[in-house]
Structure 1
Amino acid sequence: MNKAKSVFIVLFLVLINLSLLHVATLSWHSPLGPGWIGVFVLALPNFYLFVWMFMRRRARTSRNLHLLMAANLTGIALVLTDPGMEADPLPLILGNLIFFGSIAYIFWYSNLGERNNAMLNEGEKLPVFELNTPDGESFSSEQFKGAAWLLMFYRGNWCPLCMTQIGEVAARYIDLDRLGVKVALISPQPETKTKELAERFKVPMRFFVDTDFKASKKLKLVHENGVPFGLKWMGHGEDTVLPTVLIINKHGRIVYSDQTSNYRVRPEPEQFLEVARQKLGGAES
């Protein structure tokens, strides 16, 4: 199933880009009929969604993307009511492909499944696992003890929402530090990619590499075939990690756990600060 998702997302992006290009070419030569206008109404908002994510304005969207759904319904209505459909069925074909592709993206591709990893629930002791620094040095999760930490398991540099979320945390690093919370960012991506990312930020967050998915396997966070098809030829693997955020106290006990079931739905940085104020302040003193 995940393999199908990794291929789907690439094909869907190609579809909406080629559809917009074709509509633009047609409009240059003659006015567009209702069917082609419908294809444009379908393709443009879907295209904009991905552009918006890569612009890194926010690290999250609504779960069901209601505005996009409204645009999808409007576009498919124009396609289906086009009186010239019999003479030119291509708008009908493209319109349906984009419509159902968008529905699949919203409700199928984005869904990570039900996640209820008991070992990562609030109140549990953080399991012991091994990581590596970007320079290849070993690091045990036991070394987190003695301080409160925000642990973010992110998919990789290729994931725009992950990069935006890391940027949000970096922007609030001083606030977290004042509350006694250190930040550790963990990914199974290659060490070279993690080094590239670490160099982008000037705040002292710690970056770690989950080499060979040792930690992810121990914590049951492996997302098999979670990387979009083709990115392995750009230095990424095929598997990744399920986006997860944990906050642990100085004793290594989990006081906050976000195991999102939708990769587009992520916690706000203010939640981390509120947890630090409420559960790491008076509770630990």
Structure 2
Amino acid sequence: MTTRFTAAIAALAILAGCASAADAPKVGDEAKDFELAALGGEMVKLSKLTASGPVVLVVLRGYPGYQCPLCTKQVGELIGKADEFKKAGAQVVLVYPGPADKLKEHAGEFVKGKDYPAHFTLVLDPDYTFTNAYGLRWNAKNETAYPSTFVVGTKRKVTFATVSKTHGGRAKTEEVLKAIPAK
């Protein structure tokens, strides 16, 4: 089997039963485990991260033909509060979805010139495997994913969830910080 065919089969297995934003994780749900490659190539697995503390999971729009200015602003605000996330013991995982072709290149453009703290990781979601599995695929012309933010506790329990059906309407950084479970 080719790698592409194997990846397609795996994606279909993950997607079974998960088709719309109504299926996105909600407060109290167990977040589905996933493993995605970071921009640097290292693999990031949710269950491994939550074993050591809470995770703030931010789903960006990726590259819908341009670098989303609202995503850029949101990530800037999160980085601006990096010390508070660190104090809370939280890892911040930024999901950058899109077609596999040129995804790494576009993600590289997104992070260019930004200084990411060690507890922030940008992961790639090629061909929307994660986005679809989480019910966050915004399947319209020039769209990629619903901008979303989740706080996932140590047992992968979702303690905060915001899914925006517009480009705006994103979770405020202060709300996210308040939703991080105490150590």
The one-letter code sitting in structure 1 at the alignment partner of 2:47 is E
The aligned counterpart of 1:216 is 131
The one-letter code sitting in structure 1 at the alignment partner of 2:45 is S
Gaps spanning 5+ residues in structure 1: where?
Answer: 1-113, 228-238
> Distance between the aligned counterparts of 1:195 and 1:163, measured in 2?
13
Q: CA deviation at 1:115?
A: 4.8
Tell me the SS of whatever aligns to 1:240.
coil
Q: Which has the higher strand share?
A: 2
The aligned counterpart of 2:110 is 197
The aligned counterpart of 2:59 is 153
Which protein shows a greater Rg?
1
The aligned counterpart of 2:94 is 185
The one-letter code sitting in structure 2 at the alignment partner of 1:196 is E
Give the count of matched residue pairs: 154
Task: Kindly indicate whether the alpha-carbon contact (under 8 Å) linking 2:160 and 2:179 is maintained by their aligned counterparts in 1.
Answer: yes
Give the 5 Å matches for 1:238-277: 239-276=143-180
Using the size of structure 2 for normalisation, the TM-score is: 0.75
Tell me the SS of whatever aligns to 2:159.
strand
> Distance between the aligned counterparts of 1:177 and 1:131, measured in 2?
22
The one-letter code sitting in structure 1 at the alignment partner of 2:104 is E
Tell me the SS of whatever aligns to 1:169.
helix
The aligned counterpart of 2:122 is 207
The aligned counterpart of 2:48 is 143
> Distance between the aligned counterparts of 1:219 and 1:164, measured in 2?
23
Give the 5 Å matches for 1:63-212: 115-117=21-23, 119-146=24-51, 147-156=53-62, 158-189=67-98, 190-202=103-115, 203-204=117-118, 205-212=120-127
Gaps spanning 5+ residues in structure 2: where?
Answer: 1-19
Q: CA deviation at 1:132?
A: 1.7
The one-letter code sitting in structure 1 at the alignment partner of 2:162 is D
> Distance between the aligned counterparts of 1:154 and 1:171, measured in 2?
17
Further displaced range: 187-196 or 138-147: 138-147
Q: CA deviation at 1:247?
A: 0.4
Greater relative CO, 1 or 2 (CA 8 Å, sep 6+): 2
Q: 1:221 to 1:175 in 2, by over 3 A?
A: same
Q: Which 4+ stretches in 1 moved above 4 angstroms?
A: none
Q: 1:226 to 1:208 in 2, by over 3 A?
A: farther
> Distance between the aligned counterparts of 1:143 and 1:171, measured in 2?
26
Q: Percent identity?
A: 19
